[in-house]
Amino acid sequence: MAKSPHNTLLFRTLSVLSPLTLLLVWELLARIHAIDTRLFSSPSLIVQAFAPLALSGELILNTLVSVQRVVLGFVAGAAPGIVLGMSMGLSPFVRSAVEPMIAATYPIPKLAIMPLILLVFGLGETSKVFTIAIGVFYLVVINTMAGVLNIDKIYLDVAKNFGASRKDFYLTVAFPGALPLIFAGLKLGMGMALILIVAAEMSAAKAGVGWMIWRAYDMFDIERMFVALIVLSVLGYIFSLLLDAVERWVVPWKQQ
């Protein structure tokens, strides 16, 4: 527990020092050949590999290609997920009709249906966007439905007592009440999107961060692979910061 400012400072310093130490140990082990640099590279080698990749524009290009796929897939999965999840939460009729299908297909690993997606949509952009969309969709639809179902019954009584119409009820109770869990679903979906982009770019892609990784594997270019991994990590971090910012803006009433 951080009781005094002194303690807070200590913990902050620790949080910065520990990853730096890890990098240092990694570099040291590489220098004294305790680890095989052909497999594990070293921080300095990765930095050396980073500069030309960044300067040639190759890294930026691949990153943008992946970002575009992630964003498109995310939106294509989240939007219908929210709409269907809201309907399932609000209507027992829709819920009974749709929930068995969701429950039955949700456990199928999304990677397992990639070959089918490739057959249906071909090798172009659509198949990659669709793979991501489907992964995001399930997480958003399930969380949105739970968000609506978890709204305290008292708020339904208040809306009814104050004479809310069906539309009023959606806009003033159901949707705002479900928002915290909708965002939980969106955040999980974003994590899923980053997993799936690498898998989707494994087959039949000519660009993208995931493609870079598989390309580096083919060429046994470990440094290039690490650079791509770092880009993915940074992307994940930026996306989660963005979602947090949107959440603070849309759900200002949530207790932090």
Partner 1 sequence: MAKEPGIKLEGVSKCFESRTGPVTALETIDLDIRDGEFFCIVGPSGCGKTTLLRILAGLEDSTSGKVLVRQGGGNRPLNSMVFQEQSVFPWMTVRANVSYGLRLRGVPAKERNEIAASYIRKIGLSKFADCYPHQLSGGMKQRVSVARAFANDPEILLMDEPFGALDEQNRIILQQELLRIWEETHKTTVFITHSIDEALCLGDRVLIMTAHPGRVKAIIDIDLPRPRDIAEIRTTLHYNELFQTVWLTLRDEVLKGKELEMAQGK
List of residues contacting partner 1 (CB under 8 A): 154-155, 157-158, 160-165, 168, 172-173, 176-177, 179, 251-253, 255
CB of 145 to partner 1, least distance (A): 18
CB of 80 to partner 1, least distance (A): 24
Contact 139, 188 (CB under 8 A): yes
Residue 220 phi/psi, 5-degree rounding, is 50, 45
Question: For residue 214, what are the CA distances in angstroms to 34, 199, 200, 219?
Answer: 27, 10, 11, 9
38: left (phi over 0), alpha (psi -120 to 50) or beta: alpha
* d(C-alpha 201, C-alpha 114), whole Å: 11
How long is the chain? Answer: 256
Nearer to partner 1 (CB atom), residue 151 or residue 207: 151
Nearer to partner 1 (CB atom), residue 4 or residue 256: 256
CB of 158 to partner 1, least distance (A): 5
Nearer to partner 1 (CB atom), residue 177 or residue 189: 177
Residue spans of alpha helices (H) in the chain: 5-31, 37-40, 43-55, 58-90, 92-105, 114-121, 125-149, 153-161, 166-169, 175-200, 209-219, 222-250
CB of 89 to partner 1, least distance (A): 16
CB of 136 to partner 1, least distance (A): 24
Nearer to partner 1 (CB atom), residue 50 or residue 169: 169
Nearer to partner 1 (CB atom), residue 234 or residue 250: 250
CB of 85 to partner 1, least distance (A): 18
Nearer to partner 1 (CB atom), residue 19 or residue 252: 252
- State both tokens at 211: 């493609």
Contact 182, 147 (CB under 8 A): yes
Contact 53, 113 (CB under 8 A): no
Q: Which amino acid is at 131?
A: T
Nearer to partner 1 (CB atom), residue 174 or residue 200: 174
CB of 154 to partner 1, least distance (A): 5
